[in-house]
Amino acid sequence: MKDHFTMDEPQPRVLDETKQGVIGTPMDRPDGARKVSGTAGYAADHKVEGMAHGVLVRATISRGRVTDIGRASVMDLDGVIEVVTDPRMTRNPAQGMAGEAPVQPGDDVHYHGQPIAVVVAETFEAARDAAQRLVVTYRKEDAASDPDATPDTEVGDPETAGDFDAAWAKADVRLDRTYTTPSQVSAAMEPHAAIAEWTDGRVELRSSLQMVRFNKAELADTLGIDADRVRILSPFVGGGFGSKLGLGPEAVAAAIASEKLGRPVRVVMSRQNVFDAVLRRSETRQRVRLGASKDGQLLALSHDDRVSNLDGEGFAEPVSQASQFLYRADGLSFTQTVARIAATPAGSVRAPGEAVGMVALEAAMDELADELGVDPVELRLNNLPDTHPMDGRAFSTRRLADCLQDGAARFGWADRWTRGTRREGDWLIGMGVASAARSNMLVKSAARVRLQGDRAVVETDMTDIGTGTYAILSQIAGEMLGLSPDRVDVRLGDSDLPGASGSGGSFGASSAGSATFLAAKRIRRDIARKLGCPEDALTLQNGRARGDNREADLSELIDQELVGEAEIEAGKTDESHFSAGFGAHFAEVAVNEWTGEVRVRRMLAVMSMGRILNEKTARSQALGGMIWGIGTALTEEVQSDARDGHVVTRDLANYHVPSHADVPGDMQVVFLEERDDWANPIQTKGIGELGISGAGAAVINAISHATGHRTYDCPALPDRVISSLAP
């Protein structure tokens, strides 16, 4: 029987009372040795007998219709098996939880690079050659691919609280600035890949996916079959950052081709394919207006944005998401405009909304501090709200003030100098700060725990995309059952196992971890009954059970397997309390006054995000986010041809993620002690996206402090920095 739990009230801190002592420790990943030795099996690594190889054929126009696919032009090539086309292949599968209908039916082409067919051959090389040679005929249509040249298509209704216009009119100091950020891509280390095989009317798909429970339903829907005829395997995923939330074209193509040909088919995207056809982060144009009194109290806050996406896509980058709860003001207003363009669809990329929206908001807050002549840290501290500014909900926990103050002390903020006055030779030196915030979520999730003597097994279709799921679930189960983590086996990424939240939105650890906690808690009840003591008197530690003056080894006490299965979902606590992670980023940079080159010299993040499950994996997540913040501020920019929307920066040689030389050796992360009883039974919050939220803004603000001038367009490339210095 499965225990079902709804989060309707604050939860007791059970993990503070258990005795095994593994929660929060910097335990190594149990899967680490396999990953660094190359023995972990990623999607494309598997060898299946009789497997053929598929390469996607992509549209070379930005809008129109396929009138003919010249199959005969390649069928005579050595090794070519078939050119597979199917209306189901030309859709853009809805992302993980979106549940949206297909928007690309039939032979319609909606963007340059859209997958329209797959060539299958005996070897990858033959399939690639044929895909490049295939003659495709189109009927072209006019299309707008440049968001800057496209009229506003959809203007949303303003989200407001209070009276912004009245508050703006009353302000003594007003700041009205426009910021831009370019399109970005996830660029996960492992390219998108899939192997499909049909047996007795059931398809097994090995693929690189983040949300297996949802992906299973998507594939069944795409193929027009019942979900119980689909099995998805994703035990190892080499990064996702949102790009693998939903079912990708490689998975659909592999499944359809395998079904038609009656043999296994593998489809692997090249790095260039990934840039062309995988969801991007939208570029943004953001207008931030801040109005304040002379004493530094915010009166008016408005954050309006313009983003883009393909026709019919329901997703829009939630740019002002954090702006709606970070600071208080008498009047708040937020409006979003979406331009519909013929370009690679936009979707969730790490910290959708905050990653780019907080760059603008926090840069504006810094400039307002300059205008008021107050310290940027003090301005933030003096404008923190008591409740959610938009709906009045209480914060479950919020230690943002502590993060700012602790970070300022650690970083030496008190020694900060006047803007534009410190130099080391040709280098101008500056320090910057930014708040960090990311809303916290609990997503329906299930897990099963089996106890066999003094060994346990955790089973869930949850994924590990490099975030440390194997580690934290073994720690949670070990802590609850009194076992060292090496006595716990974790099985992930199999859709035949209980359905978890998946990895996305920074909700994975909290959701799947809570389900594992509850499943293990059920087993604790059974152990207490076997030992003959009340559950609240039971202590489990080092494979031994104690309670009411009774004591026994688990290996002797448990004579048959005990099984606990549990499912958790959000409940009434969401209605009464707002849960979010908070933090503060600090950065020091050096800017060359002649070349405009920016070097980040050190960074510090101080974060409060609930209970830390594994100090090492949490720190790794925070550092990864901070590094992406450097990329946002200084290097990352997808460039597309305005004529047809095709991506120009199609690989990691042209799309510049931060390299080792761009990242300072002095990167520090500090976690403040916190428990969020309103969030979930294990009192955790997400970390993966909090690390990037605000990080880029700290770098941008440090550049301004160094030079005495501001840049409003990201990334702050050398030419833009030099232009900002011009008189």
pLDDT digits (tens, 9 = 90+) for 622-655: 999 999 999 999 999 999 999 999 999 999 999 9
pLDDT at 52 over 60: yes
What counts of helices (H) and strands (E) characterise the chain?
16, 32
Percent of the residues in the chain that have a pLDDT greater than 70, as a whole number: 98
Q: What is the DSSP letter of 345?
A: -
Query: Position 717: which residue type?
Result: L
Here the tokens at position 115 are 């997958």
Domain identity same for 640 and 681: yes
For 313-323, b where at least 16 C-beta lie within 10 A, e where not — what string? bebbbbbbbbb
Residue recorded with tokens 């979010």? 580
Domain identity same for 499 and 432: no
The pLDDT confidence band at residue 150, using thresholds 50, 70 and 90, is confident
pLDDT at 92 over 70: no
Across the range 602-618, mean pLDDT stands at: 98
Domain identity same for 550 and 652: no
Cα(580)–Cα(397) distance, integer angstroms: 8
pLDDT for residue 162 = 98
pLDDT for residue 101 = 33
Domain identity same for 47 and 35: no
pLDDT for residue 259 = 97
pLDDT at 175 over 60: yes
Strand 427-439 and strand 550-553: pairing?
Answer: unpaired
The pLDDT confidence band at residue 107, using thresholds 50, 70 and 90, is confident
Q: What is the pLDDT of residues 342-383, one digit of tens each?
A: 999 999 999 999 999 999 999 999 999 999 999 999 999 999
Domain-ending residue, one of 256, 277, 298: 277
DSSP string, 230-242: EEEE-S-----TT
Cα(117)–Cα(249) distance, integer angstroms: 10
Cα(484)–Cα(509) distance, integer angstroms: 19
pLDDT at 421 over 90: yes
The answer to whether position 447 is within a domain reads no
The answer to whether position 301 is within a domain reads no
The answer to whether position 335 is within a domain reads no
The pLDDT confidence band at residue 333, using thresholds 50, 70 and 90, is very high
- Please count the other Cβ atoms lying within 10 Å of the Cβ belonging to residue 73: 14
Percent of the residues in the chain that have a pLDDT greater than 90, as a whole number: 95
pLDDT for residue 329 = 98
Across the range 436-446, mean pLDDT stands at: 98
Q: Is the peptide bond before 158 cis (omega within 30 degrees of 0)?
A: no
Domain identity same for 431 and 534: no
Strand 202-207 and strand 230-233: pairing?
Answer: parallel
pLDDT for residue 91 = 52
pLDDT at 604 over 50: yes
> Do 532 and 548 meet the contact criterion of CB atoms below 8 Å apart?
yes
Domain-ending residue, one of 277, 303, 321: 277
Domain region containing 114:
43-143+186-277
Domain identity same for 546 and 619: no
CA 252 from chain center: how many Å?
23
> Do 208 and 193 meet the contact criterion of CB atoms below 8 Å apart?
yes
> Do 690 and 625 meet the contact criterion of CB atoms below 8 Å apart?
yes
pLDDT at 1 over 80: no
Strand partners, 131: none
The answer to whether position 715 is within a domain reads yes
The answer to whether position 165 is within a domain reads no
| CB half-sphere exposure, 124, CA atoms < 13 A | 7
The answer to whether position 298 is within a domain reads no
Q: What is the pLDDT of residues 230-282, one digit of tens each?
A: 999 999 999 999 999 999 999 999 999 999 999 999 999 999 999 999 999 99
The answer to whether position 249 is within a domain reads yes
pLDDT for residue 41 = 95
CA 103 from chain center: how many Å?
24
pLDDT for residue 103 = 34
Domain identity same for 100 and 220: yes
Cα(150)–Cα(155) distance, integer angstroms: 13
User: Considering only CA atoms, which of 621, 626, 688, 615 is closest in space to residue 28?
Assistant: 615
List Cα–Cα distances, 715 to 371, 407, 633, in angstroms: 24, 25, 5
Query: Position 427: which residue type?
Result: W
Cα(75)–Cα(96) distance, integer angstroms: 36
Domain identity same for 594 and 686: yes
Strand partners, 280: 346
What is residue 445's three-state secondary structure?
A: strand
Neighbour order of strands in the sheet with 580-592: 423-424, 427-439, 580-592, 598-608, 666-671
| CB half-sphere exposure, 669, CA atoms < 13 A | 24
The pLDDT confidence band at residue 106, using thresholds 50, 70 and 90, is low
Domain-ending residue, one of 520, 547, 570: 570
The answer to whether position 307 is within a domain reads no
Q: What is the pLDDT of residues 566-584, one digit of tens each?
A: 999 999 999 999 999 999 9
Residues designated as active site = 689
pLDDT at 105 over 80: no
> Do 490 and 448 meet the contact criterion of CB atoms below 8 Å apart?
no
For 155-188, b where at least 16 C-beta lie within 10 A, e where not — what string? eeeeeebbebeebbeebeeebebebbbbbbbbbb
Q: Which residues contact 85 (CB under 8 A, 6 or more apart)?
A: 69, 116, 117
Cα(42)–Cα(191) distance, integer angstroms: 10
Structural domain tally of the chain?
3
Cα(518)–Cα(515) distance, integer angstroms: 5
pLDDT at 424 over 80: yes
Question: pTM for the full model?
Answer: 0.96
* Residue 251 belongs to domain with CATH number: 3.30.365.10
Domain identity same for 713 and 601: yes
Q: Which residues contact 675 (CB under 8 A, 6 or more apart)?
A: 13, 16, 397, 610, 611, 683
Q: Which residues contact 263 (CB under 8 A, 6 or more apart)?
A: 50, 51, 52, 197
Cα(683)–Cα(685) distance, integer angstroms: 7
Q: In degrees to the nearest 10, what's the CA dihedral of 455, 459, 462, 465?
A: 40
**Mean pLDDT of all residues in the chain?**
95
Domain identity same for 409 and 395: yes
Domain identity same for 420 and 501: no
> Do 232 and 495 meet the contact criterion of CB atoms below 8 Å apart?
yes
Domain identity same for 114 and 255: yes
pLDDT at 104 over 90: no
The pLDDT confidence band at residue 9, using thresholds 50, 70 and 90, is very high
